[in-house]
Structure 1
């Protein structure tokens, strides 16, 4: 499913079921925003991330009641992508110095305990978790990972691309198909992980573990 179709399904669902969040979707990023982002990270952006940003420059994520992306995340605008990336780069330099991290030469999709220059945050959680796009070279370039500063990344990417992430979210919101379903068997991650379904409770959009 295309990014435009998935995003239309997501925003259509929000307009009906959680209009407070629908009003907090930012206008599209400008061509200047996108050129600045690519120049700042010195890497081309995946086409599906560009397409999403051309539809919406993230959300006013600190004002969203709940989480648009499972399990705890809201999309951030270009300015916050860069601020968070720069903060994490600074922390890495303070700890390890200015040398390149060993993981930079690994293929995209390989786990790294260090925050790398080739990682770009795209969503944040209230508890300081992140979702980021892996921009290293390789077949999995553009895959989406979870990151916590104290725990590092998940053991495998959550989604193979931004496009897959949006399709997964749209399917859960509109069709009632649990998100992250492919991880339920334990075949992708070392441990089984419950799939997630959305729920609007007391005007909060939450994700809960779907029953077996």
Structure 2
């Protein structure tokens, strides 16, 4: 399923079931925004990420309760992608210095505890967690990981692509089934992150809870 179709399912579900969240989806990123992002990271962008940005430039509800993407995440606009990435690059260089990192030469989808220049944040959480796209070369180029500064990346990518992530969320919302089932079934979760996630509206906020 295309990103456009999956995103339409999400937006339609939000409009019918949670209009407060629907109103917080940003307008599409401009062509200038996307070209600037491409130039700033100096890496190819996955086509499905570009397609998503052409539909919505993140959301505006990251400072309030609730989340659109499991487990705790909301999509960030282009300029926030770059500012978060720059902040993490600076932190990494202060800690370990400049130069190659462990993982730089590994293919996309390889675990690493370092923040690499080939990682691009696409969503954040109130507890400082991130979702990022892995832009290293390889068969898993464009896969989506979770990141926490305390422990680095998750043990495996959560989704194989942005398109898969959006389709998973769309199906979870519209079909009432848990998201992240493939990851829960196929990889070792960190402690207390071991279950698929079911969407619910709790006290007026969209959130995800373990099944």
TM-score range, shorter chain: over 0.9
Matches within 5 A, 1:43-82: 43-82=43-82
Question: Which stretch shifts more, 193-202 or 44-53?
Answer: 193-202
SS where residue 70 of structure 1 aligns? coil
Residues 142-200 of structure 1 show CA distances to partners (whole Å, capped at 9, x for unaligned) of 00000000111100000000000001000100011210112333x33367821111000
Equivalents in 1 of 2:62, 2:146: separation in Å? 19
Work out the number of aligned pairs and report it.
209
Which stretches in structure 2 are left out of the alignment for 5+ residues? none
Equivalents in 1 of 2:28, 2:123: separation in Å? 16
Match for residue 168 of structure 2?
168
| Residues 28 and 83 of structure 1, relative CA distance in 2, 3 Å threshold | same
| CA deviation after TM superposition for structure 1 residue 91, in Å | 0.3
Equivalents in 1 of 2:10, 2:194: separation in Å? 24
Which stretches in structure 1 are left out of the alignment for 5+ residues? none
| Residues 138 and 206 of structure 1, relative CA distance in 2, 3 Å threshold | same
| Residues 62 and 183 of structure 1, relative CA distance in 2, 3 Å threshold | closer
Taking structure 1 as the reference length, the TM-score comes to 0.95
Equivalents in 2 of 1:91, 1:66: separation in Å? 28
Equivalents in 2 of 1:42, 1:206: separation in Å? 35
Match for residue 208 of structure 2?
207
SS where residue 157 of structure 2 aligns? coil
Question: Which stretch shifts more, 114-123 or 97-106?
Answer: 97-106
Equivalents in 1 of 2:62, 2:137: separation in Å? 32
